[in-house]
Amino acid sequence: MNDKNMKKNSQPLSLHVPEPAGRPGDAPDFGHLVLDAAGAVERPEVGAKPYEMRDLAFGLIRVLDDAGEAVGPWNPRLDPETLRRGLKAMILTRAFDDRMHRAHRQGKTSFYMKCTGEEAIAVAQGMLLSREDMGFPTYRQQGLLIARGYPLVDMMNQIYSNAADPIKGRQLPIMYSAKDHGFFTISGNLGTQVPQAVGWAMASAYKGDDKIAISWIGDGATAEGDFHNALTFASVYRAPVILNVVNNQWAISSFMGIAGGLETTFASKAIGYGLPALRVDGNDFLAVWAATQWAEERARSNQGATVIELFTYRGAPHSTSDDPSRYRPGDEHDKWPLGDPIERLRQHLVLIGEWDDDRHAEALKAAVEQVRAAGKEAEAIGTLGQSRPSVKTMFEEVYATEDWRLVEQRREVGV
Amino acid sequence: MVDQNAAPASEATGAGIQPMNMIQALNSAIDVKMAEDPDVLSFGEDAGYFGGVFRVTDKLQQKHGLTRSFDAPISECGIVAAAIGMGAYGLRPVVEIQFADYIYPAYDQIVSEAAKMRYRSGGQFTSPITIRSPYGGGIFGGQTHSQSPESLFTHIAGLKVVIPSNPYDAKGLLTAAIEDDDPVVFFEPKRLYNGPFDGWHEKPVSPWKTQDLAQVPTGKYVEPIGKARVMREGNDVTILAYGTMVWVALAGAEHAGVDAEVIDLRSLVPLDIETIEASVKKTGRCVIVHEAPKTSGFGGELSALVQERCFYHLEAPVARVTGWDTPYPHAFEWEYFPGPQRVADALKSVMTGGR
Ligand SMILES: Cc1ncc(C[n+]2csc(CCOP(=O)(O)OP(=O)(O)O)c2C)c(N)n1
């Protein structure tokens, strides 16, 4: 056994399992975060080579400073009307979430997921891109539909699986599909949409079209192979696509370190694939807008894909089935150093004299009223179990044309 | 009665018996094995600190340490592949796939790697891993939280497929799976986690604690893989079922008022063919119940086996009660889920149809 090829470790190895900074009962600790000051990060030319801009994968693009002033090279200089539209869409998204979360507690639906604290992301990106471009969302981009004026009542009909549900009672609540709003059908299987977005973008390039694609994935789901497949294809074929990673710190009870977020940033995953990466304050409407605009220009000028890490915090429970107080410090969200996206945009608008407390109160009231009106309309059609499409639809659209088995099975049900 | 959220006792030797629900029984199986064997470890998405979304691995990290029960990245392929590597080293990993609907990203690793490891290496490497996953519908989980993919694994040589239907079997069979030298795909009927469910969704169901099969030893015991359990003896027709459908079959038999013998298969591979054959030869009729879609479901295999072995004893064609050949639809959950009424209809038709 004294083979030269058999080396003995002189020291016993030990298995490393990462742990978050705080658990229930601990004080929140964000010491590990690397946060650049607003305005501190350079803005490269849209055509910059990915290897020239690697620092951006480790910095943090921020526009709004603590006082609410827009500073630095990434300031997109939006007009007040656009800012107000963005603020109102974020307020409406939060009001919608609150009502639907309550509806779940009242037994009106089986499931709901809020995007509290992440509203700036889908709202800014949804406003910026055309609805001709295809969005490949995961389940926290309801703000995209809301910012684009998709009828709230249709969203609720889907959530209630009622007779007017646009997808006919088949899908889990919140798993919307809205093709004409640039909103791809949501899958419950994490990560699958990202390489599909790349494929859609490749098709647009192949056809000589001018549309681009945009996708979103959570920090946790970046561990899926699909994410890495997407980066390879996006890089190889220089696909006109924007690949967002929404790093909201938590994947149900697992902190972002379990997905590899302690060793490096999620943005930096792009580097090994030769893709440009931007790391962005996801609670800063202006920064999200500016970074997306940069990536959009790059895609539209046929220079390929960009990976954007949107750095944020999931304020609400993962879903209605989750209780975050069992795995993270209770007040972690309140202590989040990048604040609340709605409050920050509000502060900015007030600072530039384009908003005030009265208008804010009015906007809150209007949002609640709009949601309530849609709620009444949807509930008049029915909530889960009270109303639904014909059972016949269960057997339809499995295939494009009828299949004898399904015809027989439908008859067995008697519909 | 034990508090549903309380962790079961960790004594590997205790002679006590406690009423447990399925979650507690499964937890106890892993807990007892971890206490007994340092090579047993458990990981999966949210499975460490929090104990899994269904709490099956609750408190195992606190009891056995961070490196023995931990959270895994959201990468089912990575989870299973890592388990295969650990198994090849000599450990006995028990991994959790959060929902069976998410086992597909790991399919290649399970099917091409774990299943074939011993065979292709001439016995040099093995894959003594256990892949646990909650499966099945009845919880309004929509398409991606309700599927029953068992037949996709029974088709693969080299895999064992085990599905318990009650707390006692859950603990005994999971213990056997962990000790098994082959890869075991262990599906847990999540509709049964907190109580038996007989498919009458409008009616209240009694809790597990009132059932004999919920009286679970706190210490170690093994239920051998490959033995069916006769849940109800009868003379007129044999019902073959597993998982949640065992309880639906019992309710269906009662509803139909038929003297049915109900067999809980407990393990699809290996299959207890003797028990099936003896029962069908006795009754002369067979109804198969499963939740998965009909086409290429495990019922097709069972039906062929019964036909091959019992043809001259059959007095009616074998009947199948199954899910439909559609994705699992959210709003039509109870039309999709094969309930006791459909079982009763099938029983009546085989009782009258054959002669
Ligand atoms: C393939 C797959 N595996 C597991 C799940 C179960 N699951 C649903 S959401 C989730 C956590 C996702 O976390 P993250 O990607 O960070 O997104 P977030 O919920 O934080 O927005 C898990 C594990 C799933 N839906 N799909």
Cβ atoms of B83 and B109 within 8 Å: the answer is: no
- For residue B326, list chain A residues with Cβ-Cβ distance below 8 A: 394-395, 398, 406, 409
Q: What is the mean pLDDT of residues B92-98?
A: 98
How far does the CA of residue B342 sit from the closest CA of chain A (Å)? 10
Question: Of B72, B326, B330, which is closest to A406 when you measure between CB atoms?
Answer: B326
Q: Which candidate, A148, A205, A226, places its Cα nearest to that of A181?
A: A148
Helix, strand, or coil (residue B214): helix
Give the distance (Å) from ligand 1 centre to CA of residue B74: 7
Separation between Cα atoms, residue B158 and residue A373, nearest integer Å:
58
DSSP state of B71: E
Q: Which candidate, B259, B262, B256, B285, places its Cα nearest to that of B355?
A: B285
Cβ atoms of B236 and B282 within 8 Å: the answer is: no
User: Tokens at residue A353, please?
Assistant: 């004299």
Contact: A254, B71; criterion CB under 8 Å: yes
pLDDT value of position A229: 98
Residue nearest to atom 20 of ligand 1 (CA): A251
Q: With bands split at pLDDT 50, 70 and 90, how would you rate the model's confidence at B354?
A: low
Give the distance (Å) from ligand 1 centre to CA of residue A258: 13
How many residues are recorded in chain A?
415
User: Tokens at residue A114, please?
Assistant: 């809020």
pLDDT value of position B7: 40
> Is B145 a residue of the active site?
yes
Separation between Cα atoms, residue A238 and residue A49, nearest integer Å:
13
Cβ atoms of A174 and A142 within 8 Å: the answer is: yes
Strand residues in A248-321 grouped as ranges (E): 250-251, 254-255, 277-281, 306-311
Q: How far is CA A313 from the centre of its chain?
A: 11
Q: What are the pLDDT digits (tens) for B110-167?
A: 999 999 999 999 999 999 999 999 999 999 999 999 999 999 999 999 999 999 999 9
Residue nearest to atom 13 of ligand 1 (CA): A251
Ligand 1 atom closest to residue A189's alpha carbon, by position in its atom list: 26
Which parts of chain A have pLDDT scores under 70?
1-4, 6
Peptide bond into B128 cis (omega under 30): no
- Which chain B residue is nearest to residue A16, measuring alpha carbons? B67
- Strands of the sheet containing B130-135, edge to edge, are B69-71, B40-44, B92-96, B130-135, B184-189, B160-162, B267-269
Helices (H), B146-290: 150-154, 167-179, 244-256, 273-283
Beta bridge pairs of residue B44: B71, B96
pLDDT value of position B355: 44
Q: What are the pLDDT digits (tens) for A383-400?
A: 999 999 999 999 999 999
Separation between Cα atoms, residue B99 and residue A6, nearest integer Å:
42
User: Tokens at residue A334, please?
Assistant: 């309140």
- CB within 8 Å of A334: residues ≥ 6 apart: none
pLDDT value of position A39: 97
Separation between Cα atoms, residue B281 and residue B311, nearest integer Å:
9
Helices (H), A58-118: 80-105
pLDDT value of position B23: 98
- Which chain A residue is nearest to residue B337, measuring alpha carbons? A413
Give the distance (Å) from ligand 1 centre to CA of residue A254: 10
Give the distance (Å) from ligand 1 centre to CA of residue B265: 33
pLDDT value of position B3: 36
- Which chain A residue is nearest to residue B336, measuring alpha carbons? A394
pLDDT value of position B13: 45
Q: How far is CA B122 from CA B119, B128, B286, in A?
A: 5, 15, 40
Give the distance (Å) from ligand 1 centre to CA of residue A280: 22
Cβ atoms of B273 and B224 within 8 Å: the answer is: no
Q: How far is CA A54 from CA A169, A238, A265, A305, B183, in A?
A: 46, 18, 12, 15, 44
Contact: A170, B72; criterion CB under 8 Å: no
Q: Which candidate, B96, B59, B55, places its Cα nearest to that of B76?
A: B96
Strand residues in A160-297 grouped as ranges (E): 213-218, 241-247, 250-251, 254-255, 277-281
Q: Which candidate, A123, A106, A163, A133, places its Cα nearest to that of A342?
A: A123
DSSP state of B273: H
- Residue A32's Cβ-count burial label (10 Å; 0-12, 13-18, 19+) is exposed
Cβ atoms of A122 and A131 within 8 Å: the answer is: no
- CB within 8 Å of B149: residues ≥ 6 apart: B100, B101, B103, B104, B135, B292
A 10 A CB-CB count for A411 gives 10
Helices (H), A352-414: 357-381, 404-413
* Binding site membership of A316 for ligand 1 (Cβ less than 6 Å): no
Cβ atoms of B309 and B320 within 8 Å: the answer is: no
Helices (H), B190-264: 244-256
- Beta strands B160-162; A306-311: pairing state: unpaired
How far does the CA of residue B226 sit from the closest CA of chain A (Å)? 32
At residue A374, what are phi and psi to the nearest 5 degrees?
-65, -40
Ligand 1 atom closest to residue A247's alpha carbon, by position in its atom list: 16
Whether B1 shows a pLDDT value over 70: the answer reads no
- Which chain A residue is nearest to residue B44, measuring alpha carbons? A254
* Binding site membership of A318 for ligand 1 (Cβ less than 6 Å): yes
Q: With bands split at pLDDT 50, 70 and 90, how would you rate the model's confidence at B204?
A: confident
Separation between Cα atoms, residue B338 and residue B355, nearest integer Å:
26
B43, B68, B71, B322, best to mutate vs chain A, most A CBs in 10 Å = B71
Separation between Cα atoms, residue B201 and residue A308, nearest integer Å:
46
For helices A285-300 and A119-128, what crossing angle results, to 10°? 40
Q: Which candidate, A357, A343, A392, places its Cα nearest to that of A90?
A: A343
Q: With bands split at pLDDT 50, 70 and 90, how would you rate the model's confidence at B223?
A: very high
pLDDT value of position B206: 84
Q: What is the mean pLDDT of residues B208-225?
A: 97
pLDDT value of position A11: 92
CA dihedral sign of residues B219, B49, A26, A329? negative
DSSP A105-125: HTTSSS-----TT-HHHHHHH
Cβ atoms of B222 and B18 within 8 Å: the answer is: no
String of b and e for A81-113 (b: at least 16 CB within 10 Å)? eebbebbbbbbbbbbbbbbbbebbeeebbbbbb
Which residue out of A97, A140, A189, A190 has the highest number of ligand 1 atoms within 8 Å of its CB and is therefore the one to mutate?
Answer: A190
pLDDT value of position A31: 87
Q: What are the pLDDT digits (tens) for A279-328?
A: 999 999 999 999 999 999 999 999 999 999 999 999 999 999 999 999 99
A 10 A CB-CB count for A47 gives 10
A 10 A CB-CB count for A272 gives 11
Whether B187 shows a pLDDT value over 70: the answer reads yes
A 10 A CB-CB count for B313 gives 15
Residue nearest to atom 6 of ligand 1 (CA): B98
